[in-house]
Structure 1
Amino acid sequence: MEFPISYYRYDPLTHLVSRYQYRSEMQMLINQHPDAQDVFCYVDIANFKGKNDMYGHAIGDLYMVEFAMFTAKRSGKHAYRLFDRVAYQKEKDQR
């Protein structure tokens, strides 16, 4: 099965930059702004798998989408989905 390029660039559930594109995006940001003093946050949703198993994948997906939207709104321009975790970058003027 062949997936479109966008499948690898963006997570199909949350529409955040995917784990496949994450390293390229971070390297690009570092190269563009080598002297920037930004904050990188990595959020692990506690026991997400257990909650997903208990309440079902539909509820788990809804939770992940809502959490991704919440995080993306507060992170500025850059938010990423890495498995069941969300990572984001805060720009210095947004802290």
Structure 2
Amino acid sequence: MVQDILTTSGTSLTDINALAYGRGPGSFTGVRIGIGIAQGLALGAELPMIGVSTLMTMAQGAWRKNGATRVLAAIDARMGEVYWAEYQRDEKRYLAR
């Protein structure tokens, strides 16, 4: 699957400077699988890894798409629970609240 994505995009691992991976929150198994794949690729290609928060990524998307400066990002954690975080944007960064 990874090779298919690289081929479709016309990219190889030698073209990449770092590997970003979703560090959660999310399903325990899904996060572990994603980290494992990223770690294997990063070690094999001698690339640094960058962990990215799922909720922060959602907040950044809301800012870029809608110009929002205050975002409440939430995802279903299953079993009646919710993963959530509130972010406030200033000119240079997001601040988790």
Q: Which has the higher contact order (CA 8 A, sep 6+)?
A: 1
Q: Does the TM-score normalized on the shorter chain lie above 0.5?
A: no
TM-score, normalization: structure 1? 0.26
Task: Please state which structure has a larger fraction of its residues in strand.
Answer: 2
- Structure number with bigger Rg: 2
Task: Please state which structure has a larger fraction of its residues in helix.
Answer: 1
TM-score, normalization: structure 2? 0.25
